[in-house]
Structure 1
């Protein structure tokens, strides 16, 4: 009787989670002291473009893809940086308005004077091609440099940190989540609640601060 040859069973390798060794979850919003520390560092390093990018990211509260694809005509009219601007978000196709504060108008003005260009050109062009804009990957790399320069851990912050920073401050000061929803361009309030990480403790803290 012919013996059957037995082959050893293949050893199953333990699957390694995609996020092994990585910091995951919502990225932290910057605190006000961090904002001014980064501004000071960018100024001392004479990084005019980066200072404009940083300030505009904070004011606009735009996703990275919308921020880097801004065109000069989106934020400039009659040779002046607008006080308010509106763009259509790529993700939702919904328009969203944002303010451009005096601090940001000044840093953007300085960058555009250095950069030049027409209204249809990108505010932050790629260094590889004048016809392309700064990539979201390069924007993320720049952010890592900024936060590391002021003693923060890059892995704890991302481009969404700048989108969240101003609205987190607004919510903490006012408790007006509807205003935050409008500023972020969210269609559903639930999305804003999740985005801010609002929980029972936040609600109770706001209630305790109201003395009748």
Structure 2
């Protein structure tokens, strides 16, 4: 029993030294820098279906022209088949999809190579960035909520860090109609 306590005392917490919580979204300039980093490395339709796990239905995603072109080049160069994984994981024995951990490592490498702090950005930064750009362009929070798959508008505003600017009752009282 004493040996177990001694080992437990030496163990390091899994999240010690890690930043916990929401990550920042990328700015348009940062997205441009990351694209420049990726451009030197390496045409599907503009709307694709992305398969998900756990018996969930596929998600439809819209691709920009630049993304579709880059993805088309990647598929052509890598020799991927239509039924295979576009981004396969490590190991040549059985083709498997890239794991979340592998994707996080790759993203951190790209962010660092673009000259940004990898601790400030994660995979959710990509999702948040796209949603914020759509919101800034359209101003339609309901559409962004649907795209993100949130059930409540409050979840979307919290995810995008949109603070309540004022009290709706106070605004209503200010207008005499």
Q: Please state if 1:196 is matched with 2:160.
A: yes
2:89–2:102 CA contact under 8 A, matched in 1: no
Stretch deviating more after TM superposition (85-94 or 134-143): 85-94
Please name the residue that 1:85 is paired with: 48
Alignment of 1:76-115 (within 5 A): 80-87=43-50, 89-90=52-53, 93=56, 95-115=58-78
2:107 is matched with 143
Size of the aligned set, in residue pairs, is 160
1:154-193 to structure 2, matched below 5 A, reads 154-193=118-157
Structure 2 residue aligned with 1:124? 87
How far does residue 136 in structure 1 lie from its aligned partner after superposition?
Answer: 1.4
TM-score for both structures, normalised by structure 1: 0.65
Change (3 A) 1:28 1:95: same
Q: Name which structure has the greater RCO, CA cutoff 8 Å, separation 6+.
A: 1
Partner of 1:34: 30
Whether the 8 Å CA contact 2:47–2:60 is kept in 1: the answer is yes
For residues 159 and 122 of structure 1, what CA distance do their matches in structure 2 show?
A: 19
- Deviation digits for residues 105-156 of structure 1, max 9, x if unmatched? 1100110011113221101112313511222111111111111122211111
Partners in 1 of 2:31 and 2:167 — Cα distance? 26
153-162 vs 93-102, greater mean Cα deviation: 93-102
Larger Rg: 1
Calculate the aligned-residue CA RMSD, in Å: 2.9
User: Aligned-pair distance for 1:92?
Assistant: 8.8
Q: Which runs of 5+ in 2 are unaligned?
A: 1-8, 172-177
- Superposed CA deviations along residues 41-95 of structure 1, whole A, max 9, x for unmatched, are 222xx322xxxxxxxxxxxxxxxxxxxxxxxxxxxxxxx5121123454479355
Shift of residue 21, structure 1, vs aligned partner: 2.6
Partner of 2:41: 47
CA distance in 1, matches of 2:57, 2:162: 24
